[in-house]
């Protein structure tokens, strides 16, 4: 254990003296047992890690009682640390002061955060966490961590623990002091666990002290007890504030919270607000954070938004986290149009409570593969069916006798269909069609596949959409859709999952224009057995991703070589697994540690997009992208370029929208030249024009040829880069605009115009994924012979176990498919993802079930082998491409080597020559 150096201004002895002096001055008793570790680890417990007690050198600390400290080691999670049960020492209603002397050691760059946290366990098995305090510690120094807490009611157990540094960093604890600073309050005065001041870092949050600590952001603010002739009064308290004379949407009321927020700590913001005036009845209202870095760079963080009205107060709620160390932080409300007042009744910003882990869903008798639709065969006429609307349902013959291919992939061998169909006529609305109630048949958390044959009848004058929909307590859920423009039978396939108990669930088939007949046959809705699919994918993965490897040894005497023991362990898989990152993320050591360890590719979330690099015409900003590229290069991370253009009009800067055709064309050429010249050979991939199946801004303004010209010019400027198309809902059957067939035609059209399309990007923002549906899309696109990448993969579920299952489906399908050459996640860290409930790692570094599943799969896809050298001086095994560590025991010597299995044809052995000369 390395010694900690003395810090003249903040020495360990001085800090201990401060702590003990503070405790004695209040004449309070320290409730922590063995607070200075003079009795070893007695009364302390290491939380899922290990701990030892070390001693200072006698030259550093003369007093025997101050000569020991705890060292918490083998930490694989940021929350692991040292804890003590203080249940018997705590009384509800009292305020307790906490002060600890802490340090850090081991492999770390820069300072690390140490936190004190309270774990509260209740009788009903509920567990909650209360943040006490945090301090930032540099290596080889001691710091004081201070905070306070109070409990209104008494849990079954109260545990205090110290945590915080990144995995792999040792936590050092010299002493912990917890003293009671206020007498016990009467019962019922407060509720829950609070830190000093209830933890709210907002000063004067309900305007009891007038407008003190508040200021106007580009407008004026005022205080009111009522408005609108008494029609508007505070929801709580006696007064509220208004932001008036607003001339810009960003004008509003604000408070500077600099110095009161800590980096890498998640905060929850709750505001009670509304709008008033200017005849605006409803408007977007946002809570935003303005952050200024020490080098004067501005950052705006959206915290929350709500549709506010002029009728009632509404609650605005969201979270944020600061990755870096800002010089200034201001929270403010904004959003409504100019002339509309923002009214604020209260604002709370405090440390966000940890979300308790999700329960493991227990599903009894899932009945995988069993159709929950009554009378699907129509052998009993329309029994079980009813018409939604005043359309008519007639049973006829003439439909396919085989089940649709994607359903067959899930169900395996299946008896033939009856050949009967429902003919839907007299439709006067698009939503009219056959329906069934399935409320009692759908089980929570099961993933259901939807499958049917559909066909368009008479009355159609153009392409028609048919959709299998679900009404879940009056909410619409998409169960799959298909576009039809001929008289053939088409397969419709989709999926859904219900995660909250519903009072009513109805399935119905709808979509074609009014007056258009359609036919439905063989509708099946059944729960899918994902584990059975995984068995198939594991076999497929072995065929697609592994190859035979032969190690040929030399450099040792032949007599000693035969029979030598060989151990092979893969240290890194070369298959690209990457993630989206942002500029602020790389200021967070916990984030970068996890990212560099578990990903080998990166894509920039926004920082390379045109609206970011040139928000105003001629004002170029490449600083963020430069910083991120430098980070990638320093850590040997391959970056994807996302994106050169974005075809969806809502993402195009206002200054671009206002240009005439010639000026817009010039701007497009300047963008290409500026970006690709600056970063020539830096990005292996570029998404050239994002989401062309869902937008057409550049094509509408500059003509169809502009799309292929973007590809041609990009290729001329940087021939080394692969140029990708990129779009969403390609793989899930829920969007007819981006079906695999539409995507294939789109790519062929570009190629016919000479566009050098080098890869196919499937974004992968998916819900309730079904393996065969995803695989079918990949099979279709694979016909083009282009590499396929999942470029923005994320799955979303409140339940972490379900999220983990969904993620496993997508990763296994991608890794087992020969056309897929890489997978990029669209983020992994909470509060830095475009979709809620899709993160793998919590805001403060805790890995959830989805994150654990990702790590388990990464581990599964690393090969190991051992055995003995053959008479021919060879050792063979089958393994994934990537880097390997090799140990060979020759006689009494052990030789350690590394080698790399390159990407190549899996049907021929990869031969590696190993020289065993020591």
User: Would you please indicate which residues are annotated as catalytic (active-site) residues?
Assistant: 691, 792
Of 451, 454, 481, 450, give the one whose Cα is nearest residue 400: 454
Cα 143 to Cα 136: distance, rounded to the nearest angstrom: 8
Token pair 């890794």: residue: 815
CA 755 to chain centroid: 34
Tell me how far apart the alpha carbons of residues 739 and 491 are, in angstroms, rounded to a whole number.
12
- The β-bridge relationship of strands 298-309 and 252-256 is unpaired
Rg of the chain over all Cα atoms, to the nearest angstrom: 32
CA distances from 321 to 138, 318, 346 (A): 21, 11, 21
Which residues contact residue 164 at a Cβ distance below 8 angstroms, ignoring those fewer than 6 apart?
78, 79, 81, 112, 113, 114, 115, 134, 171
Q: Pairing relation of β-strands 546-554 and 910-915?
A: parallel
Query: Any idea what the Cα angle at residue 646 is, between residues 645 and 651, rounded to 5°?
Result: 125
Report the first-to-last Cα separation within the chain, whole angstroms.
32
Pairing mode, strands 820-825 and 577-581: parallel
Name the DSSP class of 905: -
692 contacts 644 by C-beta, under 8 angstroms: no
Residues forming beta bridges with residue 822, ordered by sequence position: 789
3 state SS of 220 = strand
Tell me phi and psi for residue 760, to 5 degrees.
-110, 120
What are 702's two structure tokens? 């500059």
The token pair that represents 29 in the structure block: 């008793």
CA distances from residue 732 to 385, 773, 910 in whole angstroms, order as listed: 27, 6, 37
Cβ–Cβ < 8 Å for 274, 308: yes
Q: Tell me if residue 740 falls in helix, strand or coil.
A: helix
User: CA–CA separation, 262 vs 258, rounded Å?
Assistant: 9
CB 46 within 8 A of CB 63: no
Neighbour count for residue 317 (Cβ, 10 Å) = 15
User: Which residues on neighbouring strands pair with residue 121, listed in sequence order?
Assistant: 127, 157
For the purposes of burial, counting CB atoms within 10 Å of the CB of 809, is it exposed (0-12), middle (13-18) or buried (19 or more)?
A: buried
Distances (CA, A) of 22 to 131, 181, 683, 918: 21, 11, 57, 62
Please choose, from the candidates 782, 793, 784, the residue with its C-alpha nearest in 3D space to the C-alpha of residue 819.
Answer: 782
Best CA proximity match to 406, nearest among 450, 442, 441 = 450
Q: Supply the angle between the helices 661-678 and 705-717 in degrees, to the nearest 10.
A: 30
DSSP code of residue 585: G
DSSP letters for 265-289: -EEEEEEEEEEESTT--EEEEEEEE
Token pair listed for 774: 């995803």
CA-to-CA dists, residue 35 to 6, 17, 23, 57, 769, angstroms: 22, 14, 12, 20, 52
Output the CA torsion sign for 3, 7, 10, 12.
positive
């Amino acid at each position: 254990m390395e010694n900690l150096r003395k810090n003249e201004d903040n020495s360990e002895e001085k800090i201990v003296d401060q702590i003990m002096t503070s405790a004695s001055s209040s004449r309070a008793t320290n409730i922590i047992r063995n607070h200075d570790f003079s009795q070893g680890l007695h009364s302390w417990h290491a939380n899922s890690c290990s701990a030892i007690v070390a001693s200072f050198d006698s030259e550093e600390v003369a007093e025997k009682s101050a000569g020991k400290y705890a060292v918490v080691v083998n930490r694989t999670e940021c929350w692991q640390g040292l804890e003590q049960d203080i249940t018997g020492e705590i009384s509800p209603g009292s305020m307790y002061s906490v002060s600890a002397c802490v340090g850090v050691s081991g492999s770390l760059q820069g300072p690390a955060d140490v936190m004190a946290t309270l774990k509260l366990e209740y009788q009903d098995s509920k567990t909650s966490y209360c943040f006490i305090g945090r301090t930032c510690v540099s290596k080889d120094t001691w710091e004081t961590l201070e905070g306070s807490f109070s409990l209104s009611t008494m849990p079954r157990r109260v545990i205090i623990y110290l945590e915080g540094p990144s995995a792999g960093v040792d936590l050092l604890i010299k002493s912990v002091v917890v003293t009671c600073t206020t007498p016990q309050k009467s019962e019922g005065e407060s509720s829950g666990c609070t830190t000093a001041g209830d933890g709210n870092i907002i000063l004067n949050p309900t305007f009891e002290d007038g407008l003190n600590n508040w200021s106007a952001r580009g407008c004026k603010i005022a205080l009111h007890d009522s408005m609108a002739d008494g029609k508007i009064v505070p929801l709580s308290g006696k007064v509220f504030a208004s932001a008036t004379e607003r001339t810009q949407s960003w004008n509003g009321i604000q408070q500077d919270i600099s110095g009161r927020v800590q980096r890498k700590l998640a905060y929850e913001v709750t505001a009670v607000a509304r709008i008033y005036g200017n005849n605006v009845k409803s408007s977007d209202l946002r809570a935003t954070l303005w952050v200024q870095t020490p080098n004067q760079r501005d950052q705006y963080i959206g915290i929350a938004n709500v549709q506010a009205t002029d009728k009632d107060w509404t609650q605005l709620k969201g979270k944020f986290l600061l990755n870096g160390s800002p010089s200034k932080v201001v929270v403010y409300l904004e959003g409504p149009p100019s002339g509309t007042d923002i009214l604020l009744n209260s604002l709370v910003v405090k440390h966000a409570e940890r979300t308790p882990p999700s329960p493991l869903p227990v599903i009894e008798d899932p009945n995988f593969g069993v159709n929950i639709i009554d009378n699907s065969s129509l052998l009993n006429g329309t029994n079980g069916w009813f018409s939604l609307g005043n359309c008519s349902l007639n049973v006829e013959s003439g439909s396919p006798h085989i089940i649709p291919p994607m359903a067959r992939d899930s169900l395996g061998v299946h008896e033939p269909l009856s050949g009967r169909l429902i003919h839907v006529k007299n439709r006067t609305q698009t939503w009219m069609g056959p329906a069934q109630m399935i409320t009692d048949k759908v089980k929570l958390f099961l993933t259901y596949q939807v499958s049917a044959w559909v066909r368009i009848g008479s009355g159609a004058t153009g392409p028609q959409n048919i959709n299998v929909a679900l009404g879940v307590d009056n909410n619409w859920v998409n169960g799959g859709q298909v576009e039809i423009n001929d008289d053939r039978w088409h397969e419709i396939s989709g999926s859904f999952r219900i995660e909250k108990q519903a009072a009513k669930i109805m399935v119905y088939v709808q979509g074609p224009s009014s007056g258009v007949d359609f036919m439905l046959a063989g509708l099946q809705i059944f729960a899918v057995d994902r584990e059975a699919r995984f068995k198939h994918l594991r076999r497929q993965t072995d065929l697609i991703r592994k190859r035979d490897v032969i190690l040929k040894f030399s450099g040792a005497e032949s007599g000693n070589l035969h029979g030598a023991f060989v151990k092979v362990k893969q240290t890194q898989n070369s298959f690209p697994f990457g993630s989206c990152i942002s500029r602020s993320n790389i200021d967070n050591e916990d984030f970068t540690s996890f990212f560099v360890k578990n990903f080998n590719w990166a894509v920039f979330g926004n920082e390379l997009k045109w609206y970011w690099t040139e928000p105003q015409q001629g004002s170029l900003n490449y600083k963020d992208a430069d910083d991120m590229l430098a980070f990638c290069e320093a850590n040997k991370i391959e970056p994807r370029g996302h994106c050169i253009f974005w075809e969806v009009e809502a993402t195009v800067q206002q200054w671009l929208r206002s240009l005439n055709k010639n000026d817009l064309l010039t701007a497009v050429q300047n963008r290409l030249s500026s970006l690709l010249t600056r970063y020539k050979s830096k990005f292996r991939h570029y998404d050239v024009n994002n989401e062309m199946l869902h937008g057409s801004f550049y094509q509408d303004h500059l003509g169809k040829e502009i799309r292929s010209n973007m590809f041609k010019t990009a290729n001329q400027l940087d021939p080394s880069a692969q140029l990708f198309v990129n779009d969403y809902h390609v793989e899930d059957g829920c969007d007819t605009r981006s079906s695999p067939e539409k995507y294939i035609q789109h790519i062929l059209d570009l190629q016919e115009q000479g566009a050098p399309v080098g890869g196919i990007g499937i974004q992968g923002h998916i819900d309730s994924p079904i393996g065969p549906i995803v695989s079918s899309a990949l099979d279709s696109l694979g016909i083009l012979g282009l590499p396929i990448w999942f470029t923005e993969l994320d799955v979303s579920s409140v339940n972490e176990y379900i999220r983990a299952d969904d993620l496993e489906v997508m990763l296994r399908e991608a890794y087992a498919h020969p056309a897929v050459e890489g997978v990029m996640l669209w983020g992994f860290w909470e509060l830095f993802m475009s979709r809620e409930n899709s993160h793998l790692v919590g805001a403060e570094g805790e890995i959830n079930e989805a994150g654990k599943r990702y790590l388990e799969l990464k581990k599964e896809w690393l090969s190991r082998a051992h055995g003995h050298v053959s008479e021919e001086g060879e050792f063979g095994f089958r393994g994934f491409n990537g880097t390997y560590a090799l140990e060979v025991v020759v006689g009494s010597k052990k030789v350690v080597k590394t080698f790399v299995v390159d990407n190549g044809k899996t049907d021929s052995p990869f031969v590696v020559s190993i020289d065993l000369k020591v």
